[in-house]
A and B are shown apart, each in its own frame.
Chain A
């Protein structure tokens, strides 16, 4: 019954990917390394992208306020580190504390968004941006004691990048790693991602998930059918924030560092861009959109870095990255605008 439809954005990305892959051959970079890296990059960012799904489906827009959920996750990790929790325990406690903080942040965020229905995306962007300085203040004043987290000089305030080596850096990456020749599959990491995806998928199939998906389509009717819209939106926003918190923890363990301060600043745009490439629209996103979009988006950048560096000036890859990320978001807005206008005629 379901049709796999690839539309213009996906086709452009796929053809770009093919061009990059072909040109790799001429530069002399082995494919296997790239595939290995692409799998890690995929999951590393995948959970963050997945976190957009509940909010999109409830009609609260693409969550440009992603830094809020991310901050919750960062805080969770910092607390786990403060108690010097290592390995799985540290990872688990980070997720637990991060989720609890995400519930709190999500609740406050949902109050704001429920008051400003219809403008969630612009409000979210500003909420996310303005939240970062508040967190910056917190990072530099919070009474953490673990010396590995603090500025080496002065001993006060968290350092911008906290090394996770010896705590839970790479814990998922290295879990159940399978080597087939030179191909390395991080099975544990992928499984963790799939479990989260499956949870979101199951949630979409529940009575509540279905009702949520109906809200953006016809809010008045949903309300007449006895659905408490504000409550459902709140639940979805909190759910999104929890996933974002887990997302940054997964991201950090792959990255090897906790990136505080302005780290989350620009994280929303690549995530939104990825889900759009996957084929999500303003009000509808599926787990499949997330998986496809993240892979295409991340792999494209992975490949474009060496190619751009070899063929063009070294800074080119970052420029291309920005153009594509923001270009895709702009394209999606334009596409929606045009379609809306066509429907009216």
Chain B
């Protein structure tokens, strides 16, 4: 089906891809795995004719589809050759309904108006039936008249895949981390439907960080490291440990926390607060956070694992009594909250947690000056003091080294870093600010296995050395189980159950879907 020979791509001096050979059979699901920055995104971007590739000087090497040599000049070309791609970032039109999104640019036309060319009338009903058919292929049953902005992120992911499947010219489907925003059950549905799709003769390139999924559905797996193909496995030879080794080049040590006893005082309490976000309004939510603990908050997507952090920091509208060290604080009063020593690293770090256009050092020390007086030249001047660049640069260099952030120098823009390194910068800033209570959202989302452990380890270190209370809200339950003292399970935006140590119990899995042992 698809054959790639000696594909290379340079960004300035850096070799992003180095003579990659790759082939894809008809009806095959081919997994691509690799650490962040290993070149897998560059590879699929070349296949899909991304503008970014062309702007940076194009690629070298040859690409064949069905033994015909092609030159993929742009995205339009790629689609014509039957390549479809679903990006990690969703690209849908929120104001249009689902069927219009799926049928966009391939609308069915009412026959009688065909003469009018571009002004022909669109056959909505046929569009809707087509859309329903495409959606059912990925295992979703939903009214295609609903506007896309009104459905959840998870569903949007399905709509996006359905849009590509609906293209009857589709031969090759590229999926970039399609499951990263899905929960376990949704993932299962998607994966089984992908298998069926492959059986109909469509070839799929499947990129994921989750090795279990790869092993589950792929026929073959190619592993990228530093822009090269390091190994390739057939279904019979799959071995997760070996694959992980190949990916990173060294063995991964999984971090875990030695659990401390929990008879500590409360540091932060939410008492019957009300939270509203989106269209929802939720009442009577209470939670006590204990001093020095690592608290995990989890739940299925959309069930409110983030409401405490986001509500307190004013991203969601929160009302009610919040007690911090026996004093009342007002949610959303950011100046005070930060001064008291509460800080949030949000899960949308590119949108809310970083200045992408600014340098690493600026991001590391931003507004940390209240605690770090030495960063100001004349601290007595308060907010009108210039910065002490010498001290900041020295500190930033030290931080970069300590956190093992891979950068050219500290003046490099954060935008150019990989996801893992960006997250390290965020955590670096949290360490600089040195809060008493730190909320962290999805600390390991979009980050490769190796960097994940480093990040979790950093959080553990912060907790142990400085006794920082850390609240992690995340859907990665297995990680929470390893690092947390307690885990809170959220269900329908309420605290459903709090687990102290029996993390492995069946109850925790049941709680995620709002069930408990007694009631079953």
Contact = CB atoms under 8 A, between A and B. Distances in A.
A226 B367 contact: yes
A97 B260 CA distance: 65
Given A207-B369, A217-B355, A217-B358, A226 B339 contact: yes
Interface string B311-328: 001110000000000000
Interface string B375-419: 010000111111100000000000000000000000100000000
A225 B386 CA distance: 18
Nearest to B351: A220
B383 A221 contact: no
Given A207-B369, A218-B354, A220-B351, A226 B335 contact: yes
A179 interface: no
B338 A205 contact: no
Contacts, number: 66
A71 to B, nearest CB: 28
Interface in B338-358: 338-339, 344, 346, 351-358
Nearest to B342: A226
Contacts of A187: none
A210 B355 CA distance: 12
17 contacts: A206-B384, A206-B386, A207-B376, A207-B383, A208-B383, A214-B366, A217-B355, A220-B315, A220-B351, A223-B334, A224-B344, A225-B366, A226-B338, A226-B367, A227-B334, A227-B367, A228-B335
A205 B313 contact: no
A224 B382 CA distance: 20
B367 A220 contact: no
Contacts of B387: 205, 207, 210
A13 interface: no
B353 A224 contact: yes
Nearest to A235: B383
A248 B308 CA distance: 51
A207 B385 contact: yes
Nearest to B379: A207
A338 interface: no
A134 interface: no
Contacts of A206: 381, 383-386
Q: Which of B315, B357, B382, B384 has the most CB of A within 10 A?
A: B384
Given A207-B382, A221-B354, A228-B335, 10 more contacts: A207-B384, A207-B387, A208-B384, A214-B355, A217-B357, A217-B358, A218-B355, A220-B352, A221-B355, A224-B352
A256 B334 CA distance: 50
A225 B426 CA distance: 12
B15 interface: no
Nearest to B313: A224
B281 interface: no
Interface residues of B, number: 31
A338 to B, nearest CB: 14
Contact of A221 (B314, B338, B353, B411): B353
A224 B313 CA distance: 7
Interface string A213-251: 010011011011111100000000000000000000000
A223 B333 CA distance: 10
A211 interface: yes
A223 B386 contact: no
B68 to A, nearest CB: 27
B337 interface: yes
A205 B386 CA distance: 5
A345 interface: yes
A104 B289 CA distance: 46
Q: Which of B334, B335, B387 has the most CB of A within 10 A?
A: B334
A65 B358 CA distance: 30
A124 B5 CA distance: 58
B51 interface: yes
Interface in A151-205: 202-203, 205
Nearest to B332: A223
Contacts of B313: 224
B354 to A, nearest CB: 7
Interface in B83-125: none
Contacts of B346: 224
A175 B353 CA distance: 51
B358 A223 contact: no
Nearest to B353: A221
Contacts of A220: 315, 351-352
Contacts of A223: 314, 334
Given A217-B355, A217-B357, A225 B383 contact: no
Contacts of B383: 206-208, 211
Contacts of A207: 369, 376, 382-387
Contacts of A224: 313, 315, 334, 344, 346, 352-353
Interface string A255-269: 000000000000000
B347 to A, nearest CB: 12
A221 B356 CA distance: 11
Nearest to B336: A226
A55 to B, nearest CB: 18
A344 to B, nearest CB: 10
A227 B314 CA distance: 12
B340 to A, nearest CB: 10
B55 to A, nearest CB: 9
Contacts of A225: 338, 366-367
A1 B389 CA distance: 14
A217 B358 CA distance: 9
Given A206-B386, A226-B337, A221 B369 contact: no
A221 B386 contact: no
Contacts of B411: 1
B65 to A, nearest CB: 24
Contacts of B381: 206
Nearest to B376: A207
Contacts of A217: 355, 357-358
The 5 closest A-B pairs by CB, nearest first: A226-B338, A225-B367, A208-B383, A205-B386, A206-B384
Contacts of B369: 207
A228 B386 contact: no
Q: Which of A1, A210, A225, A227 has the most CB of B within 10 A?
A: A225
Nearest to A227: B367
Interface in B62-84: none
A202 B386 contact: yes
A345 B358 CA distance: 21
A220 B356 CA distance: 13
A202 B385 CA distance: 9
A227 B335 CA distance: 6
A67 B169 CA distance: 60
Contacts of B356: 218
Interface string B357-368: 110000000110
A228 B335 CA distance: 7
A234 B313 CA distance: 22
A226 to B, nearest CB: 3
B516 to A, nearest CB: 35
A254 to B, nearest CB: 31
B286 to A, nearest CB: 24
Nearest to A208: B383
B13 to A, nearest CB: 19
Interface in B453-472: none
Contacts of A226: 334-335, 337-339, 367
Contacts of A214: 355, 358, 366
Interface string A16-34: 0000000000000000000
Nearest to A205: B386
A3 to B, nearest CB: 13
Contacts of B354: 218, 221
B376 to A, nearest CB: 6
A9 B242 CA distance: 58
